[in-house]
Structure 1
């Protein structure tokens, strides 16, 4: 599979959602402003979504299944996730449900969370700035291993709340 798409899938699975503090439960859409893999600027989410549509059906389905298993859906201007009220109230990072990953919030204020994480195939740190209960911006920097290759990545994303109803999408894990 294309290295860019592997890195993109990794970034999505590890960085969404980055927090659940002063935000509303429901359907959220994440778009990227800056994605870098191994120091090289990558296409934005919309271009990557186009690339995924051009993958052979089996590879595209594999990628979509991997994301869906984590409560992530491709659509709109980026990726969509559903956050339950319990997740929002727990104020935890997404890795808390993954037994082989550890996470720590290193700084927490009303408008800023800084964190670090460690998983078998990745480690990193980041921060989230809350603009309002309906919008936030996150930056995640990580080192990863995917398909036998090692690398580093950085992603800046913006999230906006779309509404309370998540439709068929199950809450993110």
Structure 2
């Protein structure tokens, strides 16, 4: 896989917050994008740039990346990655946004209707962040931590796309 694409994409997937969700967000297909990411004080390409780079990969590499993401319940969208959130997950406030085999754990430390703060720990990183629920169809997240021994930060936006997830299954 092209290294310029893989590390920032992996970072963005790992740093997706441990969202459960506010009780009133819509179930269905959500697209999460980020144009503000830093690792070790260096800016890394935003999601749109990474998606453009992926379009230039040889077809077999792109297909391999898309299959790997699909196995984790993620697909590439127009401006970010897409996930499916079921009504049951939202009601239970249990929205896993990383591979259960990743070894990551998350803890929501404060919870209100508009703001959740959390911390996470993974084998190669740890940190904290917050998610602000803008409406039932939008939320933003800020994450700060360390990843592979380097300071990392990411700001992301999520928008509801449609109630129909198509072939994408909730995690």
TM-score (norm: length of structure 2): 0.85
Show CA shifts across 1:11-33 (max 9, x none).
Answer: 22441673322311101111213
Looking at structure 2, the residues matched to 131 and 139 of structure 1 have their Cα atoms a distance apart, in angstroms, of 14
Corresponding residue for 1:108?
111
Superposed CA deviations along residues 99-124 of structure 1, whole A, max 9, x for unmatched, are 63221111111100000111222222
Aligned length: 168
Asked if residue 123 in structure 1 is aligned to residue 122 in structure 2, the reply is: no
Contact 1:13/1:70 (<8 A) preserved: no
Residue 26 of structure 1 corresponds to 28
Question: Which stretches in structure 2 are left out of the alignment for 5+ residues?
Answer: none
Aligned residue runs from structure 1 range 8-157, under 5 A: 8-15=9-16, 18-22=19-23, 23-92=25-94, 94=96, 98=100, 100-145=103-148, 150-157=149-156
CA pair 60-50 structure 1, distance change in 2 beyond 3 A: same
CA distance change for structure 1 residues 26 and 5 in 2, over 3 Å: closer, same or farther?
A: same
CA RMSD of aligned residues (A): 2.3
When residues 75 and 10 of structure 1 are mapped into structure 2, their CA distance, relative to the original with a 3 A threshold, is: same
| Over 6 Å off, 4+ runs | none
